[in-house]
């Protein structure tokens, strides 16, 4: 994009930028909190094999990966280190034993082995294990166990594998998502109402749509088939298919009377994955990321649009069968 291209309103620019970050995570889990989607990937051992599906045509993860093996899988197998080697894995290099239950911690306590917790996301990892064991009041000394990746500069071991996207993919997604904003029926008006000059809004829209088309990210037929735009080429919510208003990108969610909070930041329109994020696929990608209503997104959750519609159909059938719907 040209340096002279007018800037977006801050709220919208921030919203688009955040699509390249992972979901939130607190200190009780092993994941990093809201970092770039090209960060170090954490892969559960049960999903690992020599034929593991890396991102298509990219051959690997930009910032590497760490395989997490449960203590029982590690300690109960004979010649486990040799078996890991045959799978391209090595403890302390690209693999860690991950303690997440107190029974495992007590049964295979790494302290007795004089192991050190990992401290680095790149090889060598600085240790052989990481632990996130919940606290319990059932036993004496049952406090929470958090070891490995706990410092301010290195908090969290990595990101969920299904959240990964390369820096190139992140950039493509951001470009296409901005183009989808400009395809909202009143996008220019919304941009002007939120701080852009009319000529600036028109200029940026033209620049972005051209860049998107040049990058093969503005295939209208494909966008329609992906439930992102309608036959009028206007942006729509992937679930309910209602046309989106540009003002929804700036408007905070309405709150129930008596339950208002002053610091709500959720807007009416949010990032929407048409096909859900799941292990074995890399669905944070162009032509799968759309904008949709907050409530539609909450209903869809991690099920994806297709499965959610099937679920809604069954709900309607049951309501008709029980006499709650008359149509």
Shared domain check, 224 and 153 = no
Q: Are residues 199 and 285 in the same domain?
A: yes
pLDDT digits (tens, 9 = 90+) for 40-55: 999 999 999 877 888 8
User: Residues 256-275: pLDDT tens digits?
Assistant: 444 444 444 578 999 999 99
- What residues does 197 pair with on adjacent strands? none
The answer to whether position 327 is within a domain reads: no
Q: Are residues 123 and 203 in the same domain?
A: no
Q: What is the pLDDT of residue 256?
A: 43
**Environment class of 216 (CB within 10 Å of its CB; exposed 0-12, middle 13-18, buried 19+):** exposed
| Residue 8 DSSP label | P
Nearest to 67 by CA among 134, 29, 118, 138: 118
Given this model, what pLDDT does residue 312 score? 97
Question: What is the total count of domains within the chain?
Answer: 2
Q: Which has the minimum average pLDDT: 29-33, 48-52, 294-298?
A: 48-52
Q: Is the pLDDT of residue 93 over 50?
A: yes
pLDDT tens-digit series, residues 164-222: 999 999 999 999 999 999 999 999 999 999 999 999 999 999 999 999 999 999 999 99
Examine the domain organization and report whether 183 and 138 are in the same domain: no
Alpha-carbon gap, residue 190 to 192, rounded angstroms = 5
> 10, 8, 90: which is closest to 48 by C-alpha?
90
Q: What is the pLDDT of residues 180-191, one digit of tens each?
A: 999 999 999 999
Yes or no: say if 118 and 125 are a contact pair by the CB < 8 Å rule.
yes
Q: Are residues 59 and 127 in the same domain?
A: yes
């Amino acid at each position: 994009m040209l340096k002279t291209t007018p800037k977006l309103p801050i709220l919208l620019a921030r919203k688009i930028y955040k699509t390249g970050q992972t979901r939130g995570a607190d200190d009780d889990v092993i994941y990093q909190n809201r970092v770039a989607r090209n960060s170090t990937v954490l892969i559960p051992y049960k999903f690992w094999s020599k034929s593991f599906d890396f991102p298509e045509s990219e051959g690997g993860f930009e910032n590497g990966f760490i395989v997490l093996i449960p203590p029982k899988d590690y300690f109960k197998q004979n010649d486990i280190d040799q078996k890991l080697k045959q799978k391209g894995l090595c403890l302390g290099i690209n693999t860690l034993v991950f303690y997440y239950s107190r029974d495992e911690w007590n049964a295979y306590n790494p302290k007795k082995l004089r192991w050190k917790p990992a401290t680095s996301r790149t090889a060598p990892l600085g240790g052989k294990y990481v632990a996130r064991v919940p606290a319990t009041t059932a036993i004496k000394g049952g406090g929470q166990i958090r070891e490995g990746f706990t410092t301010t500069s290195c908090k969290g071991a990595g990101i969920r594998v299904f959240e990964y996207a390369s820096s190139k993919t992140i950039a493509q997604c951001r470009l296409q998502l901005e183009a989808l904003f400009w395809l909202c029926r009143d996008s220019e008006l919304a941009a002007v109402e939120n701080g852009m000059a009319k000529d600036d809004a028109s200029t940026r829209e033209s620049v972005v749509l051209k860049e998107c088309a040049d990058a093969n990210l503005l295939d209208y037929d494909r966008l329609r088939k992906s439930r992102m735009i309608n036959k009028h080429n206007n942006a729509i919510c992937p679930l309910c298919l209602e046309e989106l208003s540009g003002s929804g990108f700036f408007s905070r969610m309405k709150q129930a009377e008596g339950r208002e909070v002053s610091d709500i930041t959720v807007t009416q329109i949010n990032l929407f994955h048409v096909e859900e994020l799941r292990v074995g696929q890399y669905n944070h990608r162009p032509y799968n990321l759309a904008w949709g209503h907050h409530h539609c997104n909450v209903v869809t959750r991690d099920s994806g649009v297709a499965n959610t519609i099937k679920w809604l159909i069954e709900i309607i059938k049951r309501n008709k069968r029980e006499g709650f719907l008359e149509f």
